[in-house]
Amino acid sequence: MQLARMPALVIFLVGCATPPTPSPAPSPAPAKTTSGAALPEPARSGSVSLAFEPVALPGATAPASLDYLAFEPRRARVWVPVGTTGSVDVFNIKTAAFDRVDGFRTVQRELKGRTRTMGPSAVAIGDGAAYIGNRATSEVCPVDTESLKLGTCTALATPTDGVAYVSTAKEVWVTTPRDRSIVVLSVTEPLAPKVKTSIHLDGAPEGYAVDPTRGLFYTNLEDKNRTAVIDIVRHAPVAAWDVPCGQDGPRGVAVDADERGLVFVACTDRVLVLDGLHDGAPLGTVESGAGVDNIDWLPSRHLLYVAAGKAATVTVGRVDHAGHVTPIAVGASVEGARNGVVDDGGNAYVADPVNARLLVFAAPK
């Protein structure tokens, strides 16, 4: 393992809690995507127009293998697993610099007629450690969040996909779609994860969200057009809601853990708002354009963030108490950019695998 300090990259973050230096806001993005397609209607009818600043990933050549990102609130950092470099690039928002954690194993695989390098692909932030899912080796690897040292990896029986930290149980839940299950790891010792149990499902899990208030875990069953609700203490499914996402099935999921209990389920071209207190009854929808995968939720401002890779747009919607969504900001991104995460200041960070970059969208005013 090698830890390297990367040179600072100058970016402009409007609305960030502690930006490196005060800078003027970027010029508004044009009302078209980089592919020339018109933005969704809200951008043409008075909502805020978002713009991004691209940040190159250190040592990565395009295209890069990127999937799930995570925001670490305590140190104001964004964690970016990069399969093609076998690293996790940790972006410090305050200093606009990367720290890079190396040492993850990679493999070459053929996918859709092309050879790709697979490696670390997902991350969850725990208490004193970040947990990295390595799709290439079916491992979960802890990284000390203070020293950024890579610990001893734990091997699973099947490839990893999403990784989530369940703070109330001191567990890490790993979706493993190949065998339709979730593997639960005990992390009572943060840097020594151990396989605890497996939860078998009726379909292939895709996406994840934790509601610590109610002790529930949500994942979509991509091949069944359902959202599964799992009891965290019992490690057992307690419900499955049908969702109208069509033949491509549901993707990401997020939850508002306050008294409303709203659950957000991403279809590939829109996000559904469901009533988590009443069997997933539909409450609202936000149209986003095609190519949606994972989504993120900022509970302090009741904002939903959706990056659509095929439409090359990012949409921010405000969700009211009844679950109705009002798009308040839309911006052009680039084709293939998806799986955005939001920091506590409302700035969004979107993976751009086609160009091996992180796209930074300033918080909407």
Type of residue numbered 20:
P
Q: Please tell me the distance from the alpha carbon of residue 300 to that of residue 288, in angstroms, as a whole number.
A: 22
Q: What is the CA radius of gyration of the chain?
A: 19
Residue 45: the pLDDT is 46
Residue 48: the pLDDT is 84
From first to last of the 365 residues of the chain, give the pLDDT tens digit: 444 444 333 333 333 333 333 333 333 333 333 333 344 444 444 468 999 999 999 999 999 999 999 999 999 999 999 999 999 999 999 998 999 999 999 999 887 788 889 999 999 999 999 999 999 999 999 999 999 999 999 999 999 999 999 999 999 999 999 999 999 999 999 999 999 999 999 999 999 999 999 999 999 999 999 999 999 999 999 999 999 999 999 999 999 998 889 999 999 999 999 999 999 999 999 999 999 999 999 999 999 999 999 999 999 999 999 999 999 999 999 999 999 999 999 999 999 999 999 999 999 98
Type of residue numbered 5:
R
CA 127 to chain centre: 19
The CATH code for residues 3-21+53-361 is: 2.130.10.10
The answer to whether 211 touches 219, Cβ cutoff 8 Å, is: no
- Longest CA–CA span in the chain (Å) reads 52
Tokens of 230: 């799992």
Q: Please tell me the distance from the alpha carbon of residue 202 to that of residue 238, in angstroms, as a whole number.
A: 12
Task: Concatenate the DSSP letters of all residues of 32-94 into one string.
Answer: B-TTSPBPPGGGGTTPEEE-EEEEEPTT--SS------EEETTTTEEEEEETTTTEEEEEETT
The answer to whether 160 touches 121, Cβ cutoff 8 Å, is: yes
The answer to whether 149 touches 134, Cβ cutoff 8 Å, is: no
Q: Please tell me the distance from the alpha carbon of residue 255 to that of residue 248, in angstroms, as a whole number.
A: 21
Residue 293: the pLDDT is 98
**pTM score above 0.95:** no
Q: Please tell me the distance from the alpha carbon of residue 151 to that of residue 131, in angstroms, as a whole number.
A: 10
The answer to whether 27 touches 49, Cβ cutoff 8 Å, is: no
Segments making up each domain of the chain, as ranges = 3-21+53-361
Residue 115: the pLDDT is 81
Residue 110: the pLDDT is 80
The answer to whether 131 touches 175, Cβ cutoff 8 Å, is: no
